[in-house]
Amino acid sequence: MRAYGHESDGVTRIPHEAEYLIAAARKLLDEDATLGDVAEWMTKTAGPTVSGRPWAPTTLRRRLRNPAIAGLRRNADDELVSGVAEPLMERELFEAIDGYFKERERGQVPQRAYLLSCGIAMCDPCGSELVSRSSSKGARGYQCEADGCGKIWISAPPLDEYVSARALARLERPSTLQKLRKLRDDLQVAAEAAAKKVPELDKRKRELAAALGATSLTMEEYRLAKSSLDQTRKDVLAILRRAKYLDELPELTIEGLSDWWANTSGNEQRRALLQLVIREVRVEPATKRGSNKFDEQRFNIIYR
């Protein structure tokens, strides 16, 4: 029997099922819904499991904690490494939901999502995007994993909090709100164009698989073409996702945004707003190795 979200080959992604799993994970992380509530929502909205049964909390938890949904697997040392399955969600979301369940198992409050991932936090020495990671001791941070660099690691919670406060302060400027309105409108136009690309990209992917089956392509040619299509599709879906969350923004006034940020917004919505206000946050190496002190001089916020 196949796993929900993947075809029976255990590799090929089923797009609509992947979207339901992503939505389920975000309901748990951003809406404080219970696992039972989300399992019930899956049954009513996505339909039954592949075995034809209603979703049970244990079934949903087991699927959301399987690293294959992020295109990963665990090696003999219990480390996450690349797997053969096509990812159903981004690694960051999988790690967030896996951490959610781990914290619940320990009876603690789950850690929330990283706000400066997805291209905001950058390594100043090499210019690479910082990735969100948890240390062996559970500390959450951003680090550089670029070959030949790896000089950056900074704690995520204080950086997220500081940059968010600076962004909200920036929004008190009328000129910033005016730019924000234009950026939101431009993104909605881009989202309309992106929505038209998804069916075409899925069609090209099927044609590519057919060409491989007919031996019109070598495996190397197939992998290169598929990698390019996957990246394009990922970029298109990112635009659609950002547009969705931005569409949920309140009236673009500082009062409305401040209240929304404090009382209504989820982490994905907060990240989407930060991406509109901030181009990037460039992080420099710590001046003292091993220091846990939060140093405001280590990073530079570049606004749009």
Among the listed residues 272, 294, 273, the one whose alpha carbon sits nearest the alpha carbon of residue 283:
294
pLDDT at 195 over 90: no
Instruction: Spell out the residues 6+ positions from residue 114 whose beta carbon is closer than 8 angstroms to its own.
Output: 92, 96, 132, 140, 142, 156, 160
How far apart, in whole angstroms, are the C-alpha atoms of residue 133 and residue 117? 10
- Give the highest mean pLDDT range of 11-20, 31-40, 209-218: 11-20
Is residue 93 within 8 A of residue 24, CB to CB? The reply is no
The answer to whether residues 84 and 175 belong to one domain is no
User: Taking residues 63-87, what's their average pLDDT?
Assistant: 87
**In-domain check, residue 294:** no
Indicate the range of 67-81, 164-178, 232-246 predicted with least confidence. Answer: 232-246
Residue 302, CA atoms < 13 Å, CB-side half-sphere = 10
Return the percentage of the chain with pLDDT > 90, whole number. 22
**In-domain check, residue 6:** yes
How far apart, in whole angstroms, are the C-alpha atoms of residue 274 and residue 185? 16
**In-domain check, residue 149:** no
How far apart, in whole angstroms, are the C-alpha atoms of residue 284 and residue 44? 48
pLDDT at 121 over 70: yes
The answer to whether residues 105 and 173 belong to one domain is no
The answer to whether residues 107 and 175 belong to one domain is no
**In-domain check, residue 289:** no
Listed residues 63, 80, 111: the one ending a domain: 111
Measured between its terminal Cα atoms, the distance across the chain in Å is: 49
pLDDT at 138: 67
**In-domain check, residue 143:** no
**In-domain check, residue 118:** no
pTM above 0.75, yes or no: no
The answer to whether residues 103 and 176 belong to one domain is no
pLDDT at 135 over 70: no
Q: Which domain holds residue 64?
A: 1-111
How far apart, in whole angstroms, are the C-alpha atoms of residue 182 and residue 169? 19
Is residue 6 within 8 A of residue 68, CB to CB? The reply is yes
The answer to whether residues 2 and 107 belong to one domain is yes
Is residue 276 within 8 A of residue 184, CB to CB? The reply is yes
Q: Give the total number of structural domains in the chain.
A: 2
How far apart, in whole angstroms, are the C-alpha atoms of residue 208 and residue 192? 25
**In-domain check, residue 154:** no
User: Taking residues 293-298, what's their average pLDDT?
Assistant: 83
Is residue 149 within 8 A of residue 125, CB to CB? The reply is yes
pLDDT band at 291 (very low <50, low <70, confident <90, very high): low
CATH number at residue 10: 3.90.1750.20
∠ CA(31), CA(280), CA(96), 5° rounding?
30
pLDDT at 263: 73
pLDDT at 51: 83
**In-domain check, residue 246:** yes
